[in-house]
Chain A
Amino acid sequence: TQLLEQSPQFLSIQEGENLTVYCNSSSVFSSLQWYRQEPGEGPVLLVTVVTGGEVKKLKRLTFQFGDARKDSSLHITAAQPGDTGLYLCAGARYAGGTSYGKLTFGQGTILTVHP
């Protein structure tokens, strides 16, 4: 069962354009993480959002956690070719004990930024 829906699946844009990637669920998450993956490598954490309505900025990247903690978005301003990669959202639910750490990943968004 896919609990996190990402959209769009593919995004091909020109350098300098803005874009938004969405991550939606019908379930509430304790936190949501965004990862970026380059070819031949594993995903690398970009940010963790934990509070409903939270907004975090990382240079040209802006991450938002929905008020109800069921959805999140990633906005990139003035995209550059170096932003090319697979972007994954991952949600976690903490019930204490050994449930800590388990993530549910979205399908991912493949972003290509053309020079």
Chain B
Amino acid sequence: DAGVIQSPRHEVTEMGQEVTLRCKPISGHDYLFWYRQTMMRGLELLIYFNNNVPIDDSGMPEDRFSAKMPNASFSTLKIQPSEPRDSAVYFCASSRTGAYQPQHFGDGTRLSIL
């Protein structure tokens, strides 16, 4: 089976621009997670979905961040407007329902805001 697929792998853009990160979870997984990883703060959960419905968005830093999951095979994380402090590696992960299920991570999007 294909793993979690994220695009783009790298994104460099100027401050103020809109950024859209994309994720295709593993087929059959009903949980989808968006994380942000930095050296200072480690791996932080931003938001997660269950069966395409957002369950917990308490980790979203501010209103500039939004996430959608229009169907079971696609999710987006959007930043508008972007700021230099948003520079980080953003990961998408998916898992099945059930206790002790592992999360399967994509290879991440390295985002640089100039």
A residues in contact (CB < 8 Å) with B:
30-31, 33, 40-45, 48, 50, 88, 92, 94, 98, 100-108
Contact = CB atoms under 8 A, between A and B. Distances in A.
A103 B31 CA distance: 12
Across chains A and B, which 9 residue pairs bring their CB atoms closest together, nearest first?
A42-B105, A45-B102, A107-B42, A101-B31, A105-B43, A98-B50, A98-B55, A101-B95, A48-B100
Secondary structure at the A interface, as helix, strand, loop or mixed, is: loop
Secondary structure at the B interface, as helix, strand, loop or mixed, is: strand
A105 B42 CA distance: 8
B101 interface: yes
Contacts, number: 62
B42 A102 contact: no
Given A42-B4, A42-B93, A105-B42, A94 B99 contact: yes
A88 B45 contact: no
